[in-house]
Amino acid sequence: MKKYPIFIAVILTVSIFSFILLFPNKKVAQTQYDVGATIFPIYDITKNIAGDALNVGLVLPLGASPHTFEPSPSLVKNFTNTKVIYAVGAGFDDWIDPIINSSKAEKQYVSSGIGLRTMEEDGETVIDPHYWLTVANAKIIATSITNNLSRRYPAYKLTFENNLDKYLSELDTADNLVREKLLNLQNKNLITLHDAYYYFADEYSLNIVGTFEPTAGREPTAQYLIELTQGIQRAGVNTIYSEPQLSVTQITAFTKDNNLAILELDPIGGTEGRNSFIDLILYNASQIKKNK
């Protein structure tokens, strides 16, 4: 009878215990970011400016909804030594505050220089925070981030500026592609799940007839749905646009009652086919092009 398997097992056991005795407190290194961004579009813009010079971290996990997200303790630790976290503001990403309070990071809004639109919410006038969803505003955001990073990391100023020039050119190309996709759109009237696309609609001459949710995360009343149905009938809307971060279950009955097709728009991206801000914008334009 061969005893080699037993001998090998003994050797492996001794080796494992020896490793544990030699390295009893060995821990996996914690990821640390130089700068951060709250949502994927701002993260991707920042990455395009920073290039390889800085380690950029994303706060909101891919696929998560910014309206329900809360950062975990392990995520907070990743930003302990971060200098700045770029945020949307207008109450959209206030969930970043626990990270700001537990780190050295400064919260920097990227809305400077952008013409912010307002909307009515629960009887109050509030700022619509979804301004990143146009190429024109992305160019302003990219320039603002470039200036901010150049002040914080002057040794990389030329790198940031060169990256900005290249990225602005890519954004211009993307903008032209969006306009080409939407040039001969037959039906410019849209219904969306929630109120994320008014900046996009204004930029590209679209008309949002209404939204299924009066505000993000708020269930519509029966009277609200009656009025929305009337708007759909007047405008000849045939499609409602859902979002990958939110469940479509709530709109199923409504779409059947109004004979609406369901397509998808994505305000955040970061998933397959939308793994850059430019890909995200082109994806949304392609989806709207399908509107009948």
Looking at the domain assignment, is residue 88 inside a domain? yes
Residues 41 and 142 in one domain: yes
Q: Are residues 195 and 137 in the same domain?
A: no
Above pLDDT 70, what percent of the chain?
90
Is 139 in contact with 165 (CB distance < 8 Å)?
no
252 and 140 in a common domain: no
- Any idea what DSSP says for residue 48? H
Together in a domain, 206 and 134: no
CATH number for the domain including 86? Answer: 3.40.50.1980
Residues 83 and 152 in one domain: yes
pTM of the model: 0.88
**178, 209, 243 - which closes a domain:** 178
What's the pLDDT band for 29 if we cut at 50, 70, 90? low
pLDDT tens digits, 145-191: 999 999 999 999 999 999 999 999 999 999 999 999 999 999 999 99
pLDDT for residue 248? 80
**Average pLDDT for the chain:** 90
Helix, strand, coil distribution of the chain in percent, nearest 5:
45, 15, 40
Q: Do residue 63 and residue 92 come from a single domain?
A: yes
Domain count, the chain: 2
Check residue 30 and give its pLDDT: 62
Least confident of 48-52, 72-76, 122-126, 138-142: 122-126
- Let me know if residue 6 belongs to a domain: no
Task: Give me the pLDDT at residue 137, please.
Answer: 99
In a domain, 29, yes or no: no
List, in sequence order, the alpha helices (H) in 153-221: 157-182, 198-203
pLDDT band at 120 (very low <50, low <70, confident <90, very high): confident
Burial (CB < 10 A; 0-12, 13-18, 19+), residue 202, is: middle
Same domain, yes or no, for 166 and 79? yes
Tokens found for residue 92: 């959209």
Mean local confidence (pLDDT), 192-218: 93
13-22, 85-94, 99-108, 243-252: which has the minimum mean pLDDT? 13-22
Residue 26 in domain: no
For the chain, give the percent of residues with pLDDT over 90. Answer: 79
pLDDT of residue 18 exceeding 60, the answer is no
Is residue 91, in this structure, part of any structural domain at all? yes
Residue 47 is part of which domain span?
Answer: 35-178
Q: Are residues 43 and 165 in the same domain?
A: yes
